[in-house]
Amino acid sequence: MSRTINVLFLAAEADPFIKVGGLGDVSGVLPRELRALSNEELKLDVRLVLPYHPAVKAENLRPVEIFSIPRGDSEVAVEAFETTLNGMPVYFIGGEPIRANGSVYSLDATKDADKYAFFSLAAMELPKHINWQPDVVHANDWHTALSLYVNLTKRWESGSKHVAGVLTLHNLPFMGADVSAILESYGIKLAQTDLPEWARVLPLPLGLWASDAIVAVSPGYAGEVLTEEFGCGLQEFLGVRKETLSGVLNGIDTVSFDPATDKSISINFNLPTLKRRAENKELLQEKLGLTRNPNIPLLAVISRMDVQKGVDLAFTALKNMKRIDFQAVILGTGDPKLEESARELQTLFPDKIKAELRFDAALARQIYAGADMILMPSRYEPCGLAQMIAMRYGCVPIVRAVGGLKDTVIPKETGFVFEKAHHMSLVSAIKAAMKVLPDKEKWEALQRNGMAKDFSWEASAREYLKLYLSLVK
C-alpha cells in the first residue's frame, strides 16, 4: 500500500527564485531531492513556500487566493501565488509587510521581524486555502521559525491533529528581534517556555522550543552548538533537547557544479582529463590581469565579506606574505569595511592581488576551476558549501577546523586544516600547501581525492527522510 508524507518547506530564500547566500542554495535543492526519493510505497509531497520579495524572479505565477489574517482591530491581506519548479509546487506569500521592506534581509531588525513574522503566520494559513494538509512543517533559520511556534500553540488551543515541526539550523547567532508586540498584534500569546529569559521573545529560540526535531547543517555544528563557544547562550537549552538534535550535512548541486559540463568555464575537465585544468588557471590569470604563469600559486577567497567567514584573517594573512611569490583573487560582496580592506590589499599588491567585489556566479566557477587553493578561515561554519564545490573542481581547500569544514575536508588527503582563528595559523597552512604544490604527483593526489568525494544531496535527503518517518509514524 502506498503512503504519502506531505511536507511544507519554508525558507526566506531559494535558488533560482531569489538567492542571497547558502540558505538559498539549500532551499533550492533539498525539497526537490526529497521529492525525488518518492517510490511506489512512499510518496514525498514536499512543497516550498517563499516570501514574495520584490526581487523574486518567477515565471508563470498563478494567483492561488487572497485571504487575510487578523492583526490588531483589522486584518492584513495575504496574496498567495503558485508556480512549479521541476514538478514541485512552489508558493509565494505576498502582502504589505513583505512589500514594505524590499530586500530579503535588511539592516533594520525590527522591519525584518515584522516581515518574517507575517510570512511565517500567513504561510501556516496557506494549506487550508490549497486544500492540502502537511504532516511535517519544515522551517529554516529564524526567519521561518515562528511557523513552528504557531503550529504548536494553535494545536494546543484547538486540539487539532499533530503536525511535526522540524527546524534546520543554518546559522544560530541570527535569532531575530523581539517579536512579543508583533505576536500580540496577531493575537498570539507568548507561551511559558524553558528558554533563557532573554530568548523567550525571539523567533529562533521560540521555533527551537516548539520543534519536534532540530537539525544542524553538519554533524560537527550539531556538536558545537552545545558548547559555550558556539551555543550563543542557548547551549544549556539545546543540551536539554539533545535527543531531538542531529546533524545532517548539506550537499551541493552536483549537476550544476560539474567541471565536466560547466558552461561557465573555458576548458571542461574531469578525473581522467585533470591535466587540462591547468589551461583554466592561465585563462583566469589573464582575465584577472595577473601574470600568466602556471608555477605561481594562485589563491582564492570566494565568500560573503563577513567576519563569520574570517575574510579579515585571510586579508591579514596575505598582507603578511610579502616575501612569498603568490597571486590571489578575492570575490564577493558584503560588509563595506571588509570590502574596503580588500581594495586596500589590491592597492598594496597590484600585481599580486585582485579584488572583485561583486556577485559573479560565472567568475566564481572560473575561479573554482582555475585557482590552486581556496581559503576558508571561518570563525564558525555551520556547513559551508564553497569547500565542497572547490574540491569537486580540483581547487584544494585550506580551512579552519570548525563545523562543516572539519567534517568535509580531510587533512593531507583532500586539503589543509588549521585550528586557531588567527592569521598566522592560516599563513602556516598556506605555506604547508605551497610546499606540496610543486610536487605535481602529490598535489594531483590531493585534487583527485577531493574530486572523487560524493557531495551530492541524495545521502543528505535520505537522512531527512528517515527523520520525517520517525516523526510521523
Binding site for ligand GLC (CB under 6 A): 21-23, 26, 170-171, 217, 250, 381-385, 404
Minimum CB distance to ligand GLC, residue 386 (Å): 9
Tell me the longest C-alpha to C-alpha distance in the chain: 73
Q: Which is nearer to ligand GLC, 12 or 353 (CB)?
A: 12
Q: What is the spatial distance between Cα 159 and Cα 317, in angstroms, rounded to a whole number?
A: 58
Report the residue number, 370 or 382, with the smaller CB distance to ligand GLC: 382
83 beta partners? 90
Query: At its nearest, how many Å lie between ligand GLC and the CB of residue 303?
Result: 10
Which of 135/381 has CB closer to ligand GLC?
A: 381
Nearer to ligand GLC, 193 or 456 (CB): 456
- Beta carbons of 286 and 460 less than 8 angstroms apart: no
| Shortest Cβ 24–ligand GLC spacing (Å) | 9
Pick between residue 26 and residue 199 the one whose CB is nearest to ligand GLC. 26
Phi-psi map region of 403: left, alpha, beta (phi>0 left; psi -120 to 50 alpha): left
**Quick one: 309 or 354, whose CB is closer to ligand GLC?**
309
Which residues is 71 bridged to in the sheet? 74
Closest Cα to residue 167, out of 140, 205, 149?
Answer: 140
Q: For ligand GLC, which residue has the nearest CB?
A: 22
CB 166 within 8 A of CB 211: yes
Per-residue CA distances from 363 to 18, 240, 271, 335, 391 (Å): 19, 45, 22, 20, 17
Considering the complex, what minimum distance in angstroms separates the CB of residue 399 from ligand GLC? 12
Phi and psi of 323, rounded to 5°? -85, 5
Give the type of residue at 218.
Answer: S
Element at 331 (helix H, strand E): strand 327-331
Tell which residue, 71, 155, 61, has the closest CA to residue 117: 71
Spatial contact of 423 and 313, defined as CB atoms under 8 Å apart? yes
| Of residues 97 and 382, the one with the C-beta less far from ligand GLC | 382
Cell of 141: 533559520
Residues in the chain: 473
User: ∠ at Cα 380 (242, 108), nearest 5°?
Assistant: 95
Q: Which is nearer to ligand GLC, 259 or 404 (CB)?
A: 404
- Identify the residue whose cell numbers are 524553558: 194
**Residue whose C-alpha is closest to residue 96's, from 72, 124, 127, 75:** 75
| CB contact at 8 A, 142 and 12 | no
In whole angstroms, the minimum distance from the beta carbon of 250 to ligand GLC comes to 5
Instruction: Yes or no: say if 139 and 150 are a contact pair by the CB < 8 Å rule.
Output: no
Nearer to ligand GLC, 152 or 402 (CB): 402
Residue with cell string 565536466: 260
Please report how close the Cβ of residue 252 comes to ligand GLC at its closest, in angstroms. Answer: 10
Min dist. Cβ of residue 27 to ligand GLC (A): 9
What is the nearest approach in angstroms of ligand GLC to the Cβ of residue 379? 11
By beta-carbon proximity to ligand GLC, the closer residue of 49 and 248 is 248
Report the C-alpha gap between 294 and 289 in whole angstroms: 14
Least separation in angstroms between residue 182's CB and ligand GLC is 25
Minimum CB–partner distance for residue 147 and ligand GLC (Å)? 18
Q: Give the span between the Cα atoms of 381 and 375, in whole angstroms.
A: 13
Nearer to ligand GLC, 82 or 112 (CB): 112
Closest distance between ligand GLC and the C-beta of residue 26, in Å? 5
